[in-house]
Amino acid sequence: MKSLEDLKVLREKLQADIRVRENDGTKIIIGMGTCGIAAGAREVMTAVLDELAVRKLKNVQVQQTGCIGMCEKEVLLDVVRPGEPRITYGNVKPTDVKRIIADHVINGHIIEDLVIGKMDGGEI
Amino acid sequence: MKEISLHILDLMQNSIEAGASWILLEVNENEDGFLTFSITDNGRGMSETMLKKIRDPFVTTRFTRKVGMGVSFVEMTTKQSGGNLIVKSKLGEGTFLKASYLREHLDRPPLGDIVNTIKVFLVTNLKLHFVMHYYVGKAKFTFDSKNVKKFLGENIDFSYPEVYSWLDEYLRQEINEVRKAGGQK
């Protein structure tokens, strides 16, 4: 049984993580407009959250964005690593998520066959 | 949209884009034979003119990005299953929206994974004050993100894997309890 009381324990446990998280700029951004959601963005995001939890990746920020006008390529998922260009992946399926996280988010290797865009500057 | 829960996610995103800092979601799996949900927010709201247009997908998508195809989709699925969509809004105050579906209608989309909707939504909207009343008939469960904050403290939020894993399990458990209490399996 889970209860709100569990959160007190988590609060203590997580104090040590707080500083670690503030020092990184790794982000995963998922398109969550109507088009994205209809194409399966919620399932892709769930897969991302599950994978981050399993791998205990604490420094990755997960964000959402609205429709950016490439509805036919949804689900769109962007990866930003500190100091590197922002990479946009298109037609992302939940089954692609493990690969994106292992190869790109962790190891920095862009998955060329899924890429549909690259934006320099990284900062959003 | 395959699930009512996806409509809920989509409409709550509209609230965020309208600048809401507070959202109340009410779901009732059985409100006198209807499956209903409503979303109330304190976003910027809509004018009378805009309110009349939001059901038209072609006018609205080009008019503004704040409300688009989403509302017309919801209205379509409610009407296909013997229900309706009510939208009330006041500029500067917020928006209220309630969708009803005849529970036993063959064309009613399944509610789907409501917990996933809430989890994904909260992880990406960390500053939001989110309140949910979940009913099955008269049985009720209330979730308030402020209560969670009270236990977690100010510097820890839903973006921590341990916290969203907890959220997932906690919501599934509590919603199942309400279903039992409300006579649904």
Interchain CB distance below 8 Å, A2 and B65? no
Q: Where does the pLDDT of residue A19 fall: very low under 50, low under 70, confident under 90, or very high at 90 and above? A: low
A97 inside 8 A of chain B by CB = no
Give residue B63's pLDDT.
Answer: 45
pLDDT at B60 over 60: no
Q: Where does the pLDDT of residue A122 fall: very low under 50, low under 70, confident under 90, or very high at 90 and above? A: very low
Question: So what's the ipTM on this one?
Answer: 0.89
- Lowest mean pLDDT of A57-71, A99-113, B123-137, name the range: A57-71
Q: How far is B130 from chain A (nearest CA, A)?
A: 16
Give residue B15's pLDDT.
Answer: 93
**What is the rounded CA–CA span in Å between residue B15 and residue A26?**
27
A23 inside 8 A of chain B by CB = no
Interchain CB distance below 8 Å, A10 and B163? yes
pLDDT at B91 over 80: yes
Supply the mean pLDDT for chain A: 89
Residues of chain B contacting residue A46, judged by C-beta atoms under 8 Å apart = 116, 119-120
Looking at the domain B4-181, which fold is it?
Heat Shock Protein 90 (3.30.565)
Mean pLDDT throughout B65-87? 85
Place of tokens 């959003």: A124
Interchain CB distance below 8 Å, B160 and A17? yes
Q: Where does the pLDDT of residue B106 fall: very low under 50, low under 70, confident under 90, or very high at 90 and above? A: very high
pLDDT at A18 over 80: no
Interchain CB distance below 8 Å, B159 and A13? no
Give residue A90's pLDDT.
Answer: 96
Interchain CB distance below 8 Å, B152 and A38? no
Supply the mean pLDDT for chain B: 91
Segment B108-123, tens digit of pLDDT = 999 999 999 999 999 9
Which residue type does B55 have?
Answer: R
Q: Where does the pLDDT of residue A21 fall: very low under 50, low under 70, confident under 90, or very high at 90 and above? A: low
Interchain CB distance below 8 Å, B70 and A34? yes
Q: What is the CA radius of gyration of chain B?
A: 16
**What is the rounded CA–CA span in Å between residue A86 and residue A104?**
11
Is the four-CA dihedral A29, A32, A38, A41 of positive or negative sign?
positive
Give residue B130's pLDDT.
Answer: 98
Interchain CB distance below 8 Å, A62 and B148? no
pLDDT at A80 over 90: yes
Which residue type does A107 have?
Answer: N
How far is Cα of residue A79 from the mean position of the Cα atoms in its chain? Answer: 7
- Partner residue opposite A18 with nearest CB, options B17, B65, B155: B155
Interchain CB distance below 8 Å, B161 and A58? yes
Interchain CB distance below 8 Å, B119 and A49? yes
- Partner residue opposite A46 with nearest CB, options B1, B116, B148: B116
Higher pLDDT, A45 or B61: A45
Which of A37, A51, A74, A97 would you mutate first to test chain B, the one with the most B CBs within 10 A? A37
Give residue A20's pLDDT.
Answer: 62
| pLDDT > 90: percent of chain B | 75
Listed by start position, the domains of chain B span 4-181
Give residue A124's pLDDT.
Answer: 47
**What is the rounded CA–CA span in Å between residue B99 and residue B92?**
23
Contact B44, B91 (CB under 8 A): yes
A69 half-sphere exposure, CB direction, 13 A CA radius: 2
Closest CA to B14 of A64, A44, A72: A64
Q: Where does the pLDDT of residue B68 fall: very low under 50, low under 70, confident under 90, or very high at 90 and above? A: low
A109 inside 8 A of chain B by CB = no
Give the Cβ contact number of residue B74 at 10 Å. 23
B91 inside 8 A of chain A by CB = no
pTM, 2 dp: 0.92
- Lowest mean pLDDT of A39-48, A113-122, B98-107, B142-151, name the range: A113-122
Mean pLDDT throughout B85-106? 95
**What is the rounded CA–CA span in Å between residue A53 and residue B164?**
9
**What is the rounded CA–CA span in Å between residue B142 and residue A5?**
16
Q: Where does the pLDDT of residue B10 fall: very low under 50, low under 70, confident under 90, or very high at 90 and above? A: very high
User: Rounded to the nearest 5°, which phi and psi values hold at B143?
Assistant: -125, 130
Q: At what angle do helices B4-17 and B69-80 cross, to 10 degrees?
A: 150
With a CB-CB cutoff of 8 Å, which residues 57-86 of chain B face chain A?
65, 68-70, 73
pLDDT at A61 over 80: yes
Give residue B62's pLDDT.
Answer: 44
Q: What is the 3-state secondary structure (H, E, C) of chain B?
A: CCCHHHHHHHHHHHHHHCCCCEEEEEEEEEECCEEEEEEEECCCCCCHHHHHHCCCHHHHHHHCCCCCHHHHHHHHHHHHCCCEEEEEEECCCEEEEEEEEECCCCCCCCCCCHHHHHHHHHHHCCCCEEEEEEEECCEEEEEEHHHHHHHHCCCCCCCCHHHHHHHHHHHHHHHHHHHHHCCCC
List the domains of chain A with CATH numbers.
24-119 (3.40.30.10)
